[in-house]
Homo-oligomer: A and B are copies of this chain.
Amino acid sequence: MNARIVGWGHTPFGVHKDKSFETLILEAAREAIAHAGIEPADIDEVWLGHFNAGMVPAAFASSLALGLDPVMRFKPATRCENACASGGAAIYAARDAIGAGRVRTALVIGAEKMTDLDTRGVTQALGRAAYQPDEAGLSFPGIFAKFAEAYFEAFGDQSETLARIAVKNHANALNNPLAHLRKAFDLAACNTVSDRNPMIAAPLRLTDCSPISDGAAAVVMVADDMVGDFPRAVGFRAAVQMNDFLPLKGRDLTRLEAAHHAFAAAFDAAGIGLDDLDLAEVHDCFTIAELMICEAMGLASVGQGARLIAEGATLRGGRLPVNVSGGLKAKGHPVGATGVSMHITAAKHVTGLAPTEEQIAGAELAAVYNMGGSGVANYCSILEAVK
């Protein structure tokens, strides 16, 4: 039995000082249930995508969503974790549960509350997603700076390309009312190191990094023989997971190797090519990641992405619009929520339900690429409307 996405909920991403981790989970879940037009009693199981690593004290959060309603008591609930791809992990686990015929209706929630800690605390928590024996002293900006350094060394300085990616994603976020950072930035601002745009980990500047965000996103997934009961349904033409080795040592840092394999496998499973896609939501935790992901999906060969980005291939109206939601860079990146949020953006576009200014007209196929750690966990989905 194939799984279909039939409803979704999504809190605004941003700084939510007034909302607890639990509140964010419940808000997104309630909205998804209402959007699907079901009741809590209809849910067979809950999956939670959540990283944590010390960002909130609640280390056993799977059952928080049962607080939705007394009828939720005794329903199974499980947390999946794959760092910043924890949301993708939860969606894929729910797909298995439905695929196995064990459950008919699953509620999947991705959530993270990051701003209870200060920036230093969040940086330390995220740093625990690196391979500790070798990389415990590195921050994630530091890790992606290593990718950028390797890339720049091989293919020349790409700072302006990275700035273009930031400018695009900030512009796209203006169309997304749920985005964390809704402010236009020009190329000069993103491409200049300044007091307002300091170097975070050379060569990555502040505008090359996604922000620290709170937020939650949820989807309702059902078995495909149930889609007659719902006004909309989105299916997976492909759903590929691949994990790379955790240590950076020994890996080629000029590319995200697992991403190349994951996209190739997803296109193969879907029976499509890159040009069949109408949009792609990809994991731009840092602008260098988006550049490398564009190459991984085949928009350009490795080292050649700069030209296509300068030509506007990934802009709205370009060959393949990338991160029309604003991406992690500007929509925000509450890490456990991100994978679920990306699937929601894709689902909205292929059903014509994205915000008016954000909608890619007539979108039929959307790719999602959600990544955990330094290109370690990789989830590549191809979504299409089936109703």
CB-based contact B62/A81 at 8 Å = yes
For A365-378 the 0/1 string (1 means CB < 8 A from B) is: 00000001100110
Q: Does A75 contact B (CB under 8 A)?
A: yes
Q: Does A34 contact B (CB under 8 A)?
A: no
Q: Does A180 contact B (CB under 8 A)?
A: no
**Distance (whole angstroms) from the CB of A202 to the closest CB of chain B:** 25
Q: Which residue of B lies closest to A20 (CB)?
A: B133
Q: A99-B99, A128-B60, A245-B66 are in contact. Are A78 and B93 (CB under 8 A)?
A: yes
Which residues of chain A from 64 to 112 have a CB within 8 Å of any chain B CB?
Answer: 64, 66-67, 73-83, 89, 92-93, 95-102
CB-based contact B258/A74 at 8 Å = yes
Q: Which residue of B lies closest to A3 (CB)?
A: B100
**How many residues does chain A have at the interface if contact means C-beta atoms less than 8 Å apart?**
60
**Distance (whole angstroms) from the CB of A267 to the closest CB of chain B:** 16
Q: Does A125 contact B (CB under 8 A)?
A: yes
Complex CA–CA separation, A62 to B74 (angstroms): 27
CB-based contact B76/A243 at 8 Å = yes
Q: Which residue of B lies closest to A99 (CB)?
A: B100
Q: Which residue of B lies closest to A136 (CB)?
A: B57
Chain A interface (Cβ < 8 Å from any Cβ of B): 20, 22, 46, 51-54, 56-60, 62-64, 66-67, 73-83, 89, 92-93, 95-102, 125, 128-133, 136, 241-247, 258, 261, 372-373, 376-377
> What are 5 A-B contacts with C-beta separation under 8 Å?
A54-B54, A59-B81, A60-B81, A62-B243, A96-B100
Given contacts A58-B131, A74-B258, A93-B93, 14 further A-B contacts (CB under 8 A): A52-B59, A56-B132, A60-B81, A60-B376, A62-B377, A63-B244, A76-B241, A78-B241, A79-B80, A79-B82, A80-B80, A95-B100, A96-B99, A99-B99
